[in-house]
């Protein structure tokens, strides 16, 4: 898994509000979500890439600016069981 993030937040206020959320089924197992949040991020970005054979494998990218955050999440809906020998 790859995870990169940087954010500058307002330390005097915490809030998180879903302003808009949309999802699109691109195929039987692939989904795209686009979300808009209101929160305390002054500036930030996040990138997460999850490889195959993990639950909800795919990519998540978000960017935040002046208390608004836009998120794009493209993922596989399938769940993979971990098997231990």
- Of all residues in the chain, what percent carry a pLDDT higher than 90? 48
Report helix, strand or coil for 49: strand
Q: Are 31 and 56 in contact (CB under 8 A)?
A: no
pLDDT in tens, 10-48: 888 888 899 999 999 888 888 999 999 999 999 999 999
- pTM for this model (two decimals): 0.76
**Using 50, 70 and 90 to split pLDDT, how confident is the model at 8?**
very high
pLDDT for the residue numbered 5? 93
* CA–CA separation, 4 and 63 (whole Å): 12
Q: Long-range contacts of range 71-74, CB-CB < 8 Å, 24 or more positions apart?
A: 71/33, 71/34, 71/35, 71/36, 71/37, 72/32, 72/33, 72/34, 73/32, 73/33, 73/34, 73/35, 74/30, 74/31, 74/32, 74/33
Domain boundaries along the sequence of the chain: 2-44+53-76
């Amino acid at each position: 898994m790859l995870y990169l993030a940087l954010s500058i937040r307002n330390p005097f206020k915490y809030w998180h509000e879903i302003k808009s959320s949309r999802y699109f089924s691109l195929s039987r197992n692939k989904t795209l979500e686009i979300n808009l949040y209101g929160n305390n991020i002054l500036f930030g970005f996040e990138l997460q890439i999850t490889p195959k054979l993990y639950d909800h494998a795919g990519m998540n990218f978000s960017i935040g600016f002046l208390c608004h955050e836009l998120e794009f999440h493209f993922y596989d809906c399938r769940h993979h069981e971990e098997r231990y020998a």
